[in-house]
Amino acid sequence: MKIAVIGAGIAGVSLAKSLGALPDYQVELFDKGRGLGGRMSVRHTGAYSFDHGAQFFTARTTGFQAFLQTYQSAGLVEAWWPDIVTLAEAESAGKRAWLEPHFVALPNMNGLCKAIAADLDVRLNTEVDSIEQSDGRWWLKAAGECLGAFDWVVSTAPPEQTRRLFPNTTGQAMDVVRFDPCYALLLGCPGSLPAWDVAVVENSPVSWLAFNDRKPGRDSQPSLLVHADGAWSQAHDDTDREQVKQLLVDAVSRIVDIKPDTVGLHRWRYARVSTPLGQDFWVDEAAQLAACGDWCLGSRVEDAFTSASRLAQWFGST
């Protein structure tokens, strides 16, 4: 059976890995980006590197814990115990602590996806823009190029993108899913810096500050990753990007004394799932279409893995 998997984030690569291990399954993985990772991707700017999407992941299920063991043993995943504080504008810092392990991939967050996909058939820079059914198979196209025929197509993209790609056989089930957007501000920070590693910010346009270079295994000059508050990001969806950048730089400067020499901005349209699908995955067995991802179960990296794992189990049992 030949399966096309669209999206090379943690859901896509782990699904392709699991399906490829099944007898008589051939899997091809497609992603529109230049690299693997999805929201676990990394941005390099000169001497600075930023995990500008997912900052970490937890492992609360036995399935994900078992899956990670190989990568932990290989030194590709480590627990992260930062010096973390709570900040608010014009207020002093308050200490806080994580009560469970939080993990990061090495050397960047997309390192885990790269390791999983090491032996997979992956095509990057390939945005599947249409699928057409003929003689019981799905033909995929990207910018007019035919990518081949497949028995099944699985999308790990957000529901809006999935429904735009899939024919009208998908019904209305995915309509319930909602996301909060997030602006990510990327600051290169030479000079004197605070002692804390991470700050959760209250009563501000920004909600999260993290010195990316202080995560395990990083090789970067001091780099501060800033995530904006979800409601603030939504309210400024149509604001000029240069204005958004300046507003966030001003907000950060009211909290911490830094003088960045590099300022970048990225908008995550589908940053955090606020209303999930509420089921492990989505399948239209008659049409031979399926979808999975964090948005099925929640908003965490582990939710994406779990959704993909359970879809792979479904395939294995059919």
Q: What is the pLDDT of residues 201-244, one digit of tens each?
A: 999 999 999 999 999 999 999 999 999 999 999 999 999 999 99
Q: What is the mean pLDDT of residues 3-20?
A: 98
Prediction pTM value: 0.95
Q: What is the mean pLDDT of residues 194-200?
A: 95
- Least confident range of 9-23, 93-107, 238-252: 93-107
**Res. 172: pLDDT tops 80:** no
pLDDT band at 298 (very low <50, low <70, confident <90, very high): very high
**Res. 95: pLDDT tops 80:** no
pLDDT band at 92 (very low <50, low <70, confident <90, very high): low
Arch. (CATH architecture) of 1-36+117-177+276-318? 3-Layer(bba) Sandwich (3.50)
Domain extents for the chain? 1-36+117-177+276-318, 42-108+178-275
pLDDT score, position 283? 96
Q: Which residues pair with 206 in a beta bridge?
A: 228
pLDDT band at 133 (very low <50, low <70, confident <90, very high): very high
pLDDT score, position 192? 85
pLDDT score, position 93? 62
**114 vs 180: CA distance, rounded Å:** 27
**36 vs 113: CA distance, rounded Å:** 6
Q: What is the pLDDT of residues 41-66, one digit of tens each?
A: 999 999 999 999 999 999 999 999 99
pLDDT score, position 170? 59
HSE of 212, CA atoms in CB hemisphere, 13 A: 33
**95 vs 299: CA distance, rounded Å:** 26
Query: Cα dihedral sign for 110, 73, 97, 213?
Result: negative
Q: Which CATH number fits domain 42-108+178-275: 3.90.660.10, 3.30.565.60, 3.30.230.10, 3.40.109.10?
A: 3.90.660.10
pLDDT score, position 91? 57
**317 vs 285: CA distance, rounded Å:** 13
pLDDT score, position 97? 79
**71 vs 115: CA distance, rounded Å:** 8
pLDDT band at 260 (very low <50, low <70, confident <90, very high): very high
Q: What is the mean pLDDT of residues 279-287?
A: 96
**In the block, residue with structure tokens 């504008």:** 89
pLDDT score, position 12? 98
pLDDT score, position 169? 59
State the CB neighbour count (10 A cutoff) for residue 89: 13
pLDDT band at 180 (very low <50, low <70, confident <90, very high): very high
**Res. 289: pLDDT tops 70:** yes
pLDDT score, position 191? 85
The mean of the pLDDT values for the chain is 95
> What are the Cα distances from residue 146, in Å, to 132, 139, 199, 251, 261?
10, 7, 47, 48, 45
The pLDDT > 90 percentage for the chain reads 93
